[in-house]
Chains A and B, each alone.
Chain A
Amino acid sequence: MTCSDEELVKRHLEGDEQSFNQLVERYTGRLYNLAYRFLLDQAEAEDIVQETFLHVYEALPHSQIDLPFRPWVTTITLNACRSALRKKRPLAFAEIAPEADEAETFVENIPAEGETPAEAMEAQELEIALRQAVSALPEEERMILTLRYNEDLSYEQIGELLHIPVPSVGTHLYRAKRRLYTTLVADQEAD
Chain B
Amino acid sequence: MNEHIKPLLLDAYVEHALRPEQRVGVEQHLEACPDCRKRLAGHNRLMILAAHLPLEPTPLNLVNRVQLRLAQVKSKRWKELQQRRLGWASLGFALAGCALLGSAWQQVVRILTVLLNQFDNNLLTSIWQNLVNLLAENWPELAQTELNWQAQLAKDVDAVLLGGAIFLSLAAFAGLARVLLAAQGSLLMNNEE
Contacts and interface: CB of A to CB of B under 8 A. Distances in A.
A160 to B, nearest CB: 14
B38 A112 contact: yes
Nearest to A107: B42
A134 B53 contact: yes
Nearest to A128: B54
B11 A170 contact: yes
B38 to A, nearest CB: 6
Contacts of A66: none
Contacts of A7: none
Interface stretch (B60-68, B108-116, B136-144, B156-164): B60-68
Contacts of A178: 46
A180 B49 contact: yes
Interface size class of B (residues with CB under 8 A): 35 or more
B66 A149 contact: no
Given A154-B17, A155-B12, A170-B17, A118 B49 contact: yes
Interface residues of A, number: 56
A126 B53 CA distance: 9
A76 interface: no
Contact of B73 (A46, A57, A99, A173): A57
Interface of A: 20-21, 24-25, 28-30, 32-33, 36-37, 42, 46, 49-51, 53-55, 57-58, 99, 103-104, 106-110, 112, 116-118, 126-127, 130-131, 134, 145-146, 148-150, 154-155, 167, 170-171, 173-174, 176-178, 180-181, 184
